[in-house]
Amino acid sequence: MAAHIIVVGTVFVDCKGFSAVRYDPHGRNVGSVKFVHGGVGRNVAENIGRLGLPASLVSSVDKGSIGNDVVERLTASGVGASYLARTDSGGMGMWLAVMDETGELAGSISQMPDLQGMENSLSLLGETMMEQATHVALELDLNERITRQVLKLAKKKNKPVYGLPGNLEVVMKAPDVLDGLALFVCNHIELGRLCGAEFGDSDADKILANLPQITGKFGLQALVVTLGARGSVYYDAATGERGFQPALPVKVIDTCGAGDAFFSGALAGLARGENLAMAVVTGTAVAACTIQSPENNCVQLAEQLAQFRSK
């Protein structure tokens, strides 16, 4: 069966401000402002589509021009939209973000979407989705009902689930949702919160040494921890494979979406039969391409990825 990835997650519309000068949080900052399509689920689905793998997004979008734009961009990227619930309002979130002069996030405000449309789609079409899927990508922090609903459906149909956190609200409240995940990707700060410890981005060796114990504690099959500009560490419980992967040197334009891009690339690599080490390399390259884009996704992803691989 050819790979088909079902992505369950949110759609956002982001308003981003880019400071052209040294950012002053208390003053006026000259720069540029633009609206871009976002949301963890939407970002992941578009990345996977641009990597040439069949994917469908389970989410909700508003009726009207903005929602239509989101759907059109997804379908143009090769993402199926048949599981997108159309709502009168509130089906998409909004994110206001300010980027400093280096492309790093300086501040943000989120307006979360109403998830009822997504829940309805899962209730009505969940079994059909899982029959179509070979892999399931799940934004874990939608709400506990949706998270458990997806996990139950996937388990019934014996489909592997690959998870990434949003704000850790659900995972911290119900850590058992991690049990059995084929892969969990988080950053070092999120790992610290889960473990009740403090990890810095320079603690690669310390984190790597603890990954087998952490993976076993939460019942994970594989775990990848990203370390920002330093790279990532990974561990596969089935094979014992573990290691450190450095980040690729790039000119940073916008770091938003980098974590989603890393997850997308790693999942795409695994879906194509790569081992975890190679999949992490793919995720690193996809993140590098995205960091060089002013949007949450790299429109020329396939072409830029080919350039990285040729170096």
pLDDT at 70: 95
Instruction: Note the pLDDT tens digit of each residue in 55-66.
Output: 999 999 999 999
Tell me which of 129 and 255 has the higher pLDDT.
129
Q: How many CB atoms sit inside 10 A of residue 35's CB?
A: 12
Q: Return the CA Rg of the chain.
A: 18
Average pLDDT value over all residues in the chain: 92
With pLDDT > 70 as the criterion, what percentage of the chain qualifies?
98
Mean per-residue pLDDT, 271-294: 93
- Residue 250: the pLDDT is 84
What element of type H or E holds 213?
A: helix 204-218
Structure tokens of 217? 């504690």
**pLDDT confidence bin for 238, thresholds 50/70/90:** very high
As a whole-number percent, the residues of the chain with pLDDT over 90 amount to 74
Q: Is the dihedral of CA 42, 299, 77, 263 positive or negative?
A: negative
pLDDT of residue 201: 78
Residue 171, phi then psi, degrees to nearest 5: -65, -40
Burial class of residue 137 in the structure, from the number of CB atoms within 10 Å of its CB (0-12 exposed, 13-18 middle, 19+ buried): buried
Contacts with 288 (C-beta within 8 Å, 6 or more apart), sequence order: 247, 248, 250, 308
Token couple for 119: 């829940």
Q: Domain spans of the chain?
A: 5-23+32-310
Distance, in Å, from the CA atom of 175 to the CA atom of 196, rounded to the nearest integer, reads 13
Q: Give residue 63's pLDDT.
A: 93
How does residue 246 score in pLDDT terms, banded at 50, 70 and 90? very high
Using DSSP, state whether 226 is helix, strand or coil: strand
**pLDDT band of 1, cuts 50, 70, 90:** low
Q: What is the mean pLDDT of residues 283-301?
A: 87
Q: Which helix (H) or strand (E) holds 55?
A: strand 55-62
The SS3 of residue 185 is strand
Q: What is the pLDDT of residue 310?
A: 62
CATH number assigned to the domain with residue range 5-23+32-310, chosen from the 4 options 3.40.50.12780, 3.30.2310.20, 3.40.50.920, 3.40.1190.20: 3.40.1190.20
What is the pTM assigned to this prediction?
0.91
Give strand pairing partners of 8.
58, 138
The residue type at 95: W
